[in-house]
Structure 1
Amino acid sequence: MISQDFVYDDTAQAHYREDGYHIFDNCLTPQGVDTCRSNIERIVASLHADSIPEEIICVHQRGERWLWDLAVQPQILDMIERTIGPDILLWSIHILAKRPGAGIDVPWHQDAPYWNVSGNMPGAVWLAIDDVDEGNGSMSVLPGWHTKGTLPRRDSRANNAFNEEIEPGALPENIDDIKVTYRLKGGQMATHHTMIPHSSTTNRSERWRRVIVLRYIAADAQIGEKTYVCPITREPFDREAFLVRGRDLNDQGRRQTPF
């Protein structure tokens, strides 16, 4: 599933630490892309009428084994280990699928405070399943802003997927000049720090925009409570972090698999 050309080297790590993100030319194989795309299509076709395709969260806890298999690929875990050490938790898998000519705007936010986690985090692994650019709702980041700490937030409940955003006054006035917008081919990957401000726009194109986001954290981290809703049944379930490599630090009773 992972390309033999995928490499997380010293240059990539230095860029990530300096700017808070990095884009990789190769990650998924063509077969891996096809597997992910067909499974996402199946899930989207089964969504409850009250669910949206941008909000398919942690369905590996609801039986989607293929997502789990993707998240525990050794090459990806090797990259995570190089950043945070050998004891690793997987705390979230998020499918964000924006339909052609639709999809939500995701406001500027930081992952760690929004998702209620703290600790040594390598950031999110952002896997493009389709070609992604400005036209179909790509993501933008603010290079270097992962070092600014937690920025002030305000309520944004008018947005049906994200209920808070960074206070506009806390963002740079020249944000359009300094932001970096991802332009990825299907199968490429980016990673961004959990404290870097980022956002995405609606899909204005006739193409799908599907990505898978994998989120990891060091095993001694503090992970607050979070309840999700199954996008197919609308049944609530509690988030669970799984020990995918190393030791269960602090004897928290972490399971190694949901299966």
Structure 2
Amino acid sequence: MAKFLSEEAVAKYKRDGYHFPIDVLSASETRELRDRLEAHEAQSGGPIQGDRRHKAHLYLTWLNDLIRHPRIVDAVEDVLGPDLLCWSTSFFIKEPSDPGFVSWHQDATYWGLSSPDVMTVWVAFTPANLVNGCMKFMPGSHLVQLEHRDTFDKDNLLSRGQEIAVKVDDSKGVAVVIEPGQASLHHVLLAHGSAPNKSTDRRIGFAIRYIPTHVRQAVGTKDSATLVRGRDLYNNFEHEPRPTADCAPDALAAHAAIVGRQVQILYRGTGEAHFRP
């Protein structure tokens, strides 16, 4: 029996490759998350970027709490089962009137994971709508792997500027319009993308990637992940430490080492050594 999602929602996810919205946080909780992020950015001297945008839950305690949030993990369990790892997280932030965009792509193409049993939970810290560049999903596209090409476009927010190599009919995309504190769920093979932010405020989203413990890293060195629910009987991933304080020296060191390994996986074959700014 499902813990959070209805049977209809689970069926829709399996049929279309996505489901939204789900209500995760209250307005005050979401405002606190944005305030924490922007206080961290102020202390760090500017917007979070580069390597720091990725797996920030390894050095920020409040994000480590968020990846374990019962409403989020309950929804993931309804689809992927009770033994769950958080494989990675990323901030997708579009500044006001910024040209940054996300090309149509499928996440599975470069992640190197052994199975498509992977879900992204995209949590909105601000509204996501057509004006500020919300995601668009292509229903049913998770059923086939498409060819991709790397562009390294300077305005593309993806690691390699990757895009689907065939033309995608943007008019068939479903706009993922959600409010602060809501989240969307999507399959690792679902084609998705987003346009630039044409509004006067930031568009802030936090993407959390979950996998069942049976999944393994199929390329490169042994990978790491955070156990968020159940038991790990497979030990395919090194278990990541939980930060004891925000930006603690040991947490920052662990983050740097872990992200350095993930860069090698995501950028394999390109010669890149860091996430793009």
TM-score normalised to structure 1 length: 0.82
* 1:111 paired to 2:95: no
SS of the residue aligned with 2:231? coil
Cα separation, 2, equivalents of 1:167 and 1:186: 29
In structure 1, C-alpha distance between the alignment counterparts of 2:51 and 2:20, rounded to whole Å = 22
Match of 1:192 among 186, 189, 204: 186
Q: Which position in structure 2 is the counterpart of 1:136?
A: 132
Count of matched residue pairs: 239
- Residue of 148, 153, 161 corresponding to 1:158: 153
| SS of equivalent to 2:177 | coil
Please tell me the root mean square deviation across aligned C-alpha atoms, in Å: 2.7
The residue that corresponds to 2:37 in the other structure is: 40
Q: Distance in 2 between matches of 1:161 and 1:253?
A: 27
SS in 2 for 1:205: coil
Q: Give the C-alpha shift of residue 29 in structure 1.
A: 1.1
**What one-letter code is carried by the residue in structure 2 that aligns with 1:29?**
S
User: 1:21 Cα deviation (Å)?
Assistant: 0.8
Residue in structure 2 matched with residue 251 of structure 1 by the alignment: 235
2:153 partner amino acid: A
Displacement of 1:10 in angstroms is 0.9
Most deviating of 205-214 and 70-79:
70-79
Partner of 1:180: 174
Determine the structure 1 residue equivalent to 2:224.
240
Q: Report the alpha carbon displacement of residue 225 of structure 1 after superposing the two structures with TM.
A: 6.7
Residue 140 (structure 1) shift: 0.8
Alignment gaps of 5+ in structure 1: 1-5, 228-237
- Give, in whole Å, the separation in 1 of the partners of 2:101 and 2:10: 30
Matched, 1:223 2:217: yes
Offset of 1:219 from its aligned partner?
0.7
1:232 aligns with none
Shift of 1:46: 4.3
Give how far 1:51 is off. Answer: 6.2
Judge conservation of contact 2:216–2:237 (CA < 8 Å) in 1. no
| 1:15 matched to 2:12 | yes
Q: Partners in 2 of 1:51 and 1:116 — Cα distance?
A: 26
Whether the 8 Å CA contact 1:244–1:256 is kept in 2: the answer is no
Contact 1:60 1:67 in 2 (8 A): yes
| Higher alpha-carbon deviation: 205-214 or 20-29 | 20-29
**Compared with structure 1, are the counterparts of its residues 144 and 166 closer, same or farther at alpha carbon in structure 2 (3 Å cutoff)?**
same
Percent of pairs with identical residues: 31
Kindly tell me: are residues 42 and 54 of structure 1, through their superposed partners in 2, closer, same or farther at Cα, counting changes over 3 Å? farther
Report the CA distance between 1:68 and its aligned residue.
Answer: 0.8
Deviations along 1:178-230, one digit per CA (max 9) or x if unpaired, are: 11111111112111111001111111111210111111001121225789xxx
Does the 8 Å CA contact 1:23/1:189 hold for their aligned counterparts? yes
Distance apart, 1:30 and its partner CA: 1.7
Query: Which amino acid is 1:80 matched to?
Result: V
Give secondary structure in 2 for the equivalent of 1:220: coil
What is the CA-CA distance between 1:145 and the residue it aligns to? 0.5
Which deviates more, 20-29 or 186-195? 20-29
Encode CA deviations 1:25-69: one digit per residue, 9 max, x unaligned.
5221122201211122123334567963897111122x2010010
2:26 equivalent among 29, 41, 44: 29
Which amino acid in the other structure matches residue 17 of structure 2?
G
Cα distance 1:13–1:253, how it changes in 2: closer, same or farther (>3 A)? closer
Aligned partner of 1:207: which letter? D
State the alpha-carbon separation in 2 of the partners of residues 39 and 190 from structure 1.
Answer: 22
C-alpha contact (below 8 Å) 1:127/1:189 kept by paired residues: yes
The 1:103–1:116 alpha-carbon spacing in structure 2 relative to 1, beyond 3 Å, is farther
Question: AA paired with 1:247?
Answer: R
Deviations 1:49-92 (A, max 9, x none): 7963897111122x201001011112222221221122111111
Q: Is 1:202 the counterpart of 2:196 in the alignment?
A: yes
Residue equivalent to 2:252: none
Q: Distance in 1 between matches of 2:121 and 2:18?
A: 10
Cα 1:64–1:178 shift into 2, 3 Å: same
In terms of mean alpha carbon deviation, does 30-39 or 155-164 score higher?
A: 155-164
